[in-house]
Amino acid sequence: SGRWPQAGAAGAAVGLLLVWLLIYLRVSAPINRQLTAGADQPEPSTNARGLQRDWDRVITIRAALQGLAVAALCLALLL
């Protein structure tokens, strides 16, 4: 009956990871597919710099979300 703080921290971690997954599926996965397809071609992609810029735009956000999720899970263990 007294596990609400742990459940809240774990729920926050799940929420953060769901946001991470949404960003990955909407931004990072399409970039990965384009870069992989371009690597299989003998001619380099003309948009490689743009793809890298878009990747760089979200990688910090994704890393921060994962870090916060791990911190929330650690908090759930400590409570």
Domain coordinates of the chain in residue numbers? 4-78
pLDDT at residue 1, rounded to an integer: 59
Which of 2 and 77 is assigned the larger pLDDT?
77
pTM, full prediction = 0.84
pLDDT at residue 47, rounded to an integer: 84
pLDDT at residue 54, rounded to an integer: 92
| Per-residue burial over 16-54, b = 16 or more CB atoms within 10 Å of its CB, e = otherwise | bbeebeebbeebbeebeebeeeeeeeeeeeeeeeebeeb
Segment 32-70, tens digit of pLDDT: 998 888 877 888 767 888 999 999 999 999 999 999 999
